[in-house]
Amino acid sequence: MAAFRRSVALLAGVCLLHGLLPAAWAQDQSAAAPDVEHYDVQMVGPFSTNQICEGVARSLKAQMGINIGSRMKLTNAEALDTLAQGSADIALLTGTLTGLQRANYPDLDFVEIPVGMEVVSVGVSTDVWDAGLHALPPDKMRAIYEQKIKNWKEVGGPDEPITFYNFEQGAGIWEIFAQWLYEDNRRAPLPKVQSVPNSADARDDLEFTPGAIVPIGAAYVDGTRCHSLGILLPAGATFPTAADVAAGKYPPVRPIIAVVIGRPTLNIKKVTEFLTGPAGQAMVRETGALGLDAVPKPPPAPYSW
């Protein structure tokens, strides 16, 4: 829009110079197209990070007057390319960068800043938990997902029907859960069950529906209204706790990272510092993800003399 306005003004000036237009018309047209809204920082990313971005934008606008623009319905690849092309300052992505992604932009110094971990719990209602069922192996979870097991007593739980809820295909929770359960979410069937739009609604369904089970953001499971089934692996049961996720024991997870080019400075630095600070981490947890305490620590660098 700003470029178009400049072009109109230039054309009007040329016409005015040659006596083709009255001066008043040229002045009116140069002011006719308003400038687009100015943003101090542009953020891009997939839709699953939109809630975090919106919270950061509201807070930093109120606290520091920083105006943040966003496009949060892109794929990770599209967001990274937007950053690489200079049309964004921060890409808020789900998943770490691969070697191939870095190789596609050999001249750019992508810096990854951990923000949190998207963690999917297998939430169950209190009656199932109180009956003593606290963990299931992956094959039993697949059978429940596919509705081949329809009563909890078949897996050591109470004698009551299983009510399975699911997120819609393509939702972040579904992607992570199906990717883990089938090693490729494209192989996951879509059971004909009632869907939930978000983790808050999923928690309500678990609280008020006996025999319920649903994938849900880990931070929404409070151990009172709903509970998290552990995943029974050969090494033992693992749960969606920050400790197990950070140790790499719990599998249905996906990192959340902020990617910038080079060391962040000025307003970009303020945004990344907010994301990794107490207020930003609270926003991350409000989305159902876990914070920096759940991010796996990199192995120590080899000692050199």
What DSSP letter does each residue of 245-266 carry, written as one string?
HHTT---SEEEEEEEEESS--H
How far apart, in whole angstroms, are the C-alpha atoms of residue 267 and residue 272? 9
* Predicted pLDDT at 7: 40
Q: Do 94 and 299 contact (CB within 8 A), yes or no?
A: no
In the chain, which residues fall in CATH 3.40.190.10?
Answer: 41-118+254-293, 120-246
* Predicted pLDDT at 233: 95
Query: HSE-up of 254 (CA within 13 Å, CB side)?
Result: 22
Instruction: Please choose, from the candidates 97, 129, 107, the residue with its C-alpha nearest in 3D space to the C-alpha of residue 226.
Output: 129
* Predicted pLDDT at 167: 87
Class in CATH terms, 120-246: alpha beta
Rounded to the nearest angstrom, the gap between the alpha carbon of residue 157 and the centroid of all alpha carbons in its chain is 33
Q: What are phi and psi of 12, to 5 degrees?
A: -65, -40
How far apart, in whole angstroms, are the C-alpha atoms of residue 261 and residue 90? 8
Q: What are phi and psi of 65, to 5 degrees?
A: 75, 20
Would you identify the CATH topology of the domain 41-118+254-293? D-Maltodextrin-Binding Protein; domain 2 (3.40.190)
How far apart, in whole angstroms, are the C-alpha atoms of residue 277 and residue 48? 20
Angle of helix 2-17 versus helix 23-30 axis, rounded to 10: 170
- Note down pLDDT in tens along the chain; length 305 residues: 323 333 434 444 444 344 444 544 444 444 444 444 689 999 999 988 999 999 999 999 999 999 999 999 999 999 999 999 999 999 999 999 999 999 999 999 999 999 999 999 999 999 999 999 999 999 999 999 999 999 999 999 999 999 999 988 777 889 999 999 999 888 888 888 888 988 999 999 999 999 999 999 999 998 999 999 999 999 999 999 999 999 999 999 999 999 999 999 999 999 999 999 999 999 999 888 999 999 998 765 555 44
* Predicted pLDDT at 11: 44
How far apart, in whole angstroms, are the C-alpha atoms of residue 84 and residue 90? 10
* Predicted pLDDT at 299: 60
